[in-house]
């Protein structure tokens, strides 16, 4: 089973020239937690996604990758 890429956090951080360490500091989170989000090993809560979007000055929709139909098992 392949790991699903549900968020685009790593891409958006790179686009904004920010690091995971910077984001962790902004959110008051551990940098290993943010690293797990960036690698899609774990997902942030919806509230945290909203906080991330505000920190990065982007819409929530820019942080979320919608899986294709065949990835959802439809």
Instruction: Say what the pTM is.
Output: 0.83
pLDDT at 4: 72
Whole-angstrom distance, CA of residue 51 vs CA of residue 45:
10
Between the alpha carbon of residue 28 and those of residues 1, 64, 69, the distances in Å are 33, 21, 36
Q: Does domain 9-62 have CATH number 1.10.260.40?
A: yes
Question: What is the band of 59 on the pLDDT scale with cuts at 50, 70, 90?
Answer: very high
Give yes or no for residue 74 having a pLDDT over 60: no
What pLDDT is recorded for position 70?
60
Kindly report, residue by residue over 28-38, the tens digit of the pLDDT.
999 999 999 99
Higher pLDDT, 34 or 69: 34
């Amino acid at each position: 089973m392949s790991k699903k890429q549900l968020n685009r956090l790593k891409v958006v951080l790179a686009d904004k020239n920010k690091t995971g360490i910077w984001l962790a500091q902004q959110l008051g989170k551990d940098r290993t937690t943010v690293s797990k989000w960036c690698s899609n090993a774990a997902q942030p809560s919806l509230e945290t996604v909203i906080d991330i979007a505000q920190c990065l000055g982007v819409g929530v929709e820019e942080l979320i990758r919608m899986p294709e139909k065949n990835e959802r098992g439809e």
